[in-house]
Amino acid sequence: GAGVSQSPRYKVAKRGQDVALRCDPISGHVSLFWYQQALGQGPEFLTYFQNEAQLDKSGLPSDRFFAERPEGSVSTLKIQRTQQEDSAVYLCASSLDRRSSYEQYFGPGTRLTVT
Amino acid sequence: AQSVSQHNHHVILSEAASLELGCNYSYGGTVNLFWYVQYPGQHLQLLLKYFSGDPLVKGIKGFEAEFIKSKFSFNLRKPSVQWSDTAEYFCAVTNTGTASKLTFGTGTRLQVTL
């Protein structure tokens, strides 16, 4: 079946531009996570949704980062006024349930380059 | 806050050599432990996981990991690597509380030569 998909796969933005990154989770998955992976590092948690509720946004690095999942399926991560330090791969993962016993399935990521 | 350390950043092995990748975590409570793998050009995918019970966990493709609570370690092993095991390997941990956000290590890049 279809896995987690993300679009665009690559995004180049000029510093100061706003960007929107989309995640389509696996159908029926309740939990959705966003992670940021800088070059040479492991993924770092940004935010978590259960259905449409954003239950944890402790990892968002600044108020320029905003995520939503209005209907409990597709999610969008928005970055306003992009800075060079925002350059990274943004990973989305979904899980059938919030409990850690349920595997998180990762998408291919969106590679954001801010010039 | 929990953290994960992977001390081997880049490992080069010949085919058929044995593999052990180190993973240590820092957290005072009960944890769940994972190894994820990312093959070139592919998504992160789960290799194996430990929640409770037998501390020796077997995963896909002949990989196994052993949870040693006293050492806060969860090292990944494979007796004989193949060229197709060339990939980046990430150790990750969650606590057993509510939301299961993963804390990852920095990853180990494994290169297997023929």
Q: Which amino acid is at B109?
A: R
10-residue averages of pLDDT along chain B (114 residues): 90 97 89 93 92 92 95 96 97 77 94 95
Instruction: For an interface test with A, give the residue of B50, B89, B94, B101 to mutate (most A CBs within 10 A).
Output: B101
Kindly determine whether residue B107 and residue A42, on different chains, have CB atoms separated by under 8 Å: yes
Taking chain B, what is the end-to-end CA distance rounded to the nearest angstrom? 41
The whole-number pLDDT of residue B98 equals 54
pLDDT tens readout for residues A59-78: 999 999 999 999 999 999 99
pLDDT tens readout for residues A75-102: 999 999 999 999 999 999 999 886 766 7
Per CB distance under 8 Å, which residues of B are interface residues toward A? 4, 6, 32, 36, 42-46, 49, 51, 90, 92, 94-96, 98-107
The whole-number pLDDT of residue B97 equals 63
How large is the average pLDDT for residues A31-44? 95
DSSP state of B28: S
